[in-house]
A and B are shown apart, each in its own frame.
Chain A
Amino acid sequence: MSVVEVDRLVRDFTVREPVPGRRLRRRARQVRAVDGLTFTVGPGEAVGYIGANGAGKSTTIKMLAGILVPTSGTVRTCGTDPVRARRRLARRIGVVFGQRSQLWWDLPLAESYDILAAIHRLEPARARRRRAELVEELELGGFLATPVRQLSLGQRMRAEVAAALLHEPELVVLDEPTIGLDVLSKQRLREFLVHERGSRGTTLLLTTHDMGDVERLCERVLVVDHGRLAYDGSLSGLAATVAAERVLVVDLAEPVAPLQVPGTRHLGSEGDGVRQHLAFDPTRTTAAAVLAQVQRAAEVRDLSVAEPDIEDVVRRLWSRSR
Chain B
Amino acid sequence: MGTWQLVRAGFRQQSQYRLAMVAGLATNCVFGFIRASVLLAALDASTGAFAGYTRESLAAYVWISQALLGAVLLMVPTTAVGERIKTGDIAVDFLRPVSLLAGHLWMALGRGLFTLLPRGVPAVVVGTLTVGWFLPGGVAPYLLGAVSVVLAVAGSYLGAHCVALAGFWLVETRGLNALYGIVATFLAGLFVPVDLFPGWLRGLAALTPFPTFLQYPVDVLSGRVVGLDAWSHLATQAGWLLGMLLLAQLLATLGRRHLEVQGG
A positions within 8 Å CB-CB of B: 13-14, 58, 62, 65-69, 83, 86-88, 90-91, 93, 95, 97, 99-102, 104, 106-107, 111, 114-115, 117-121, 147, 175
Which of the candidate stretches B5-13, B21-29, B238-246 sits at the interface with the other chain? B5-13
Who on chain B is nearest to A33 by CB?
Answer: B260
Q: Which A residues are CB-close (under 8 A) to B92?
A: 97, 100-102
Q: A119 is contacted by which of B12, B16, B97 (Cβ under 8 Å)?
A: B97
A111 to B14, CA, bound (A): 13
A172 to B9, CA, bound (A): 27
The smallest beta-carbon distance between B231 and chain A, in angstroms, is 33
The smallest beta-carbon distance between B249 and chain A, in angstroms, is 12
The smallest beta-carbon distance between A47 and chain B, in angstroms, is 19
Q: Which B residues are CB-close (under 8 A) to A68?
A: 259-261
Q: Which 6 A-B pairs have the closest CB atoms?
A: A118-B2, A118-B5, A90-B97, A67-B94, A102-B92, A87-B97
Q: Which B residues are CB-close (under 8 A) to A87?
A: 96-99
Q: B89 is contacted by which of A100, A117, A118 (Cβ under 8 Å)?
A: A100
Inter-chain contact A119/B91, CB cutoff 8 Å:
no
Q: Which B residues are CB-close (under 8 A) to A147?
A: 16
Q: B260 is contacted by which of A13, A95, A107 (Cβ under 8 Å)?
A: A13
Inter-chain contact A62/B97, CB cutoff 8 Å:
no
Q: Which B residues are CB-close (under 8 A) to A66?
A: 94
**Mind listing 25 A-B residue pairs with CB under 8 Å?**
A58-B264, A62-B261, A65-B94, A67-B259, A68-B261, A69-B256, A69-B257, A87-B96, A88-B97, A95-B95, A97-B91, A97-B264, A101-B89, A101-B92, A102-B95, A106-B13, A106-B16, A107-B9, A111-B12, A115-B5, A115-B9, A118-B2, A119-B6, A120-B96, A175-B264
A119 to B9, CA, bound (A): 12
Q: Is B48 an interface residue (CB 8 A)?
A: no
B positions within 8 Å CB-CB of A: 2-3, 5-6, 9, 12-13, 16, 88-89, 91-92, 94-99, 103, 107, 256-257, 259-261, 263-264
Inter-chain contact A99/B95, CB cutoff 8 Å:
no
A290 to B120, CA, bound (A): 78
Q: Which of B5, B95, B99, B259 has the most CB of A within 10 A?
A: B95
Q: Which B residues are CB-close (under 8 A) to A107?
A: 9, 12-13, 16
Q: Which A residues are CB-close (under 8 A) to B13?
A: 104, 106-107
Who on chain A is nearest to B91 by CB?
Answer: A67
Who on chain B is nearest to A147 by CB?
Answer: B16
With A68-B259, A68-B261 given, is the CB distance from A119 to B88 under 8 Å?
A: no
Inter-chain contact B263/A119, CB cutoff 8 Å:
no
A67 to B264, CA, bound (A): 13
Besides the contacts A66-B94, A67-B259, A120-B2, what 6 more A-B pairs have beta carbons closer than 8 Å? Answer: A69-B259, A90-B96, A100-B91, A101-B92, A118-B3, A118-B6
Who on chain B is nearest to A66 by CB?
Answer: B94
